[in-house]
Chain A
Amino acid sequence: MSDETVTQIRNVLAQHGRLSTSADALAPDDDLFQAGLSSHASVNVMLAIEDSFDIEFPDSMLNRGVFSTINAIAGAVGQLQGEPAAG
């Protein structure tokens, strides 16, 4: 995962996460829900990540686990970017 991806994710969290901790101060494995990410905010983060990376999360990825840490989000983004285009 690139630093650029992580920076982009931090920017989305800062803008949409309504966290109690600054997004820059979070370690990649810190629990975002512990850091104040609410259920509604996690959905806004999900939609903003899709816009920011121009990807669409499949149904199976629309769950708390995928949005629980910066690393988990980056892993999911990497997985979707790595997939070949549908044509």
Chain B
Amino acid sequence: MSREVREASADQAEFLGELIEGGILLESGVPGVYGHNDTFEDIRERLAERLSSEASARGAERLRFPPVLPRRQLESSGYLASFPHLAGSVYSFEGDEADARVQADRAAAHEDWSEFQNPTELTMMPAACYPVYPSIARRGRLPAGGVFVDAGGAWVFRHEPSHDPMRRQIFHQHELVRIAEPDAVLEWRDEWANRGLELLRSFGLAAELDVANDPFFGRRGRMLARNQQAEKLKLELLVQIAGPEPTACASFNHHRDHFGSNYGIELSDGSTAHTACLGFGHERIVLGLLRAHGFDPAAWPAAVRAELWPSA
């Protein structure tokens, strides 16, 4: 059974139409899955470089991971308890030649061929910071002061089909991760929330910082969401792009010792590390820029161009 596709508001639908008409987004036939043209990718790559250079100037170490996560890691992360509705798993064929023939025939007729598919050891990447924690844990005790990782603009998957151009099923989430002493992590999160706010404003976007919550699933999720709000564990940078509500273009999550205890990440004194991550949504920021300044970056305000194309 397919997930119901979320409807777009009138201005979101209109914006999506303009993006497709203008050749900026390339349709795939599946809502929330688009290709990008050269204009879009040029802006996105400049944004990625800018974010990475801000991080590297403050001591970040670059790590890069493929867009799939070992299934065992998803299983032990608790993700399926909190976000069962967003997760995607990779399945593959297992069977003999007769099975393969039936599968191919059914597929060619667009009938159900799922009975020949079995889970592989991989799932789609739910959040770009997930592979960072076990990799750092494997190093053993952290050096004094902890670590700061730039995980780059990595592809992440969320099964939430929508006709809203800002809500993708697969998109680049540029994650920065801090793993350190509790005070240092909180300070870092707040400092970067403000740096992110200033950065988006310097791009000419009317961004606001607000307390937020994750879209946790079900009754258990409603309680988690309220706890997260009450403890101000999640902050978002919101930009009005199109639709009844502003779009979250970046989020800053403080996990306390959730990942530290889960993966056994130890500080230099042997105590459990705290973690925080911040994720900038490349596509949403690029769409915000295109909406605010138009589809021709050469005609954007000079101050905005100077932020993204400093040497041009």
A47 at the interface (CB under 8 A from B): yes
A46 to B227, CA, bound (A): 13
B59 at the interface (CB under 8 A from A): no
Chain B contacts with A in 199-253, Cβ cutoff 8 A: 219-220, 222-224, 226-228, 230-231, 233
Evaluate contact between B222 and A47: CB separation under 8 angstroms.
no
Evaluate contact between B220 and A64: CB separation under 8 angstroms.
no
A46 to B220, CA, bound (A): 8
A3 at the interface (CB under 8 A from B): no
Q: State which of B78, B223, B256 has its C-beta within 8 Å of the C-beta of A42.
A: B223
Q: How many A-B residue pairs have CB under 8 A?
A: 32
Could you write out 8 A-B pairs with CB less than 8 Å apart?
A: A39-B224, A40-B224, A42-B223, A42-B227, A43-B224, A46-B223, A59-B222, A63-B230
A18 to B256, CA, bound (A): 15
Query: Please, how many residues of chain B have a CB less than 8 angstroms from a CB on the other chain?
Result: 14
Residues of A contacting B219 in the complex (Cβ-Cβ under 8 angstroms)? 59, 62
A45 to B219, CA, bound (A): 13
A23 vs chain B, min Cβ distance (A):
19
A38 to B222, CA, bound (A): 15
Residues of A contacting B226 in the complex (Cβ-Cβ under 8 angstroms)? 62-64
A63 to B227, CA, bound (A): 7
B243 vs chain A, min Cβ distance (A):
26
Residues of A contacting B233 in the complex (Cβ-Cβ under 8 angstroms)? 39
A37 vs chain B, min Cβ distance (A):
10
A27 vs chain B, min Cβ distance (A):
23
Residues of B contacting A59 in the complex (Cβ-Cβ under 8 angstroms)? 219, 222
B293 at the interface (CB under 8 A from A): no
Name the residue on B nearest A58 (C-beta): B219
A43 to B227, CA, bound (A): 10
A72 vs chain B, min Cβ distance (A):
14
Evaluate contact between A39 and B227: CB separation under 8 angstroms.
yes
B258 at the interface (CB under 8 A from A): yes
Known: A38-B256, A39-B228, A42-B227. A62 touches B222 (CB 8 A): yes
Chain B contacts with A in 257-272, Cβ cutoff 8 A: 258
* Supplied contacts A39-B228, A40-B258, A64-B226, 17 more A-B pairs, CB within 8 Å: A38-B258, A39-B224, A39-B227, A39-B233, A40-B78, A42-B223, A43-B220, A46-B220, A47-B220, A59-B219, A62-B219, A62-B223, A62-B226, A63-B226, A63-B227, A63-B230, A64-B230
Chain A contacts with B in 21-68, Cβ cutoff 8 A: 38-40, 42-43, 46-47, 59, 62-64
Chain B contacts with A in 71-104, Cβ cutoff 8 A: 78
Residues of A contacting B78 in the complex (Cβ-Cβ under 8 angstroms)? 40
Evaluate contact between B223 and A43: CB separation under 8 angstroms.
yes
A10 to B268, CA, bound (A): 35
Evaluate contact between B223 and A63: CB separation under 8 angstroms.
yes
Name the residue on A nearest B233 (C-beta): A39
A74 to B224, CA, bound (A): 21
A47 to B258, CA, bound (A): 20
B186 vs chain A, min Cβ distance (A):
16
Residues of A contacting B220 in the complex (Cβ-Cβ under 8 angstroms)? 43, 46-47
A40 to B220, CA, bound (A): 9
Residues of B contacting A38 in the complex (Cβ-Cβ under 8 angstroms)? 256, 258
Residues of B contacting A64 in the complex (Cβ-Cβ under 8 angstroms)? 226-227, 230
B117 vs chain A, min Cβ distance (A):
32
Name the residue on B nearest A44 (C-beta): B220
B156 vs chain A, min Cβ distance (A):
22
A40 to B255, CA, bound (A): 11
Name the residue on B nearest A18 (C-beta): B261
A40 to B228, CA, bound (A): 10
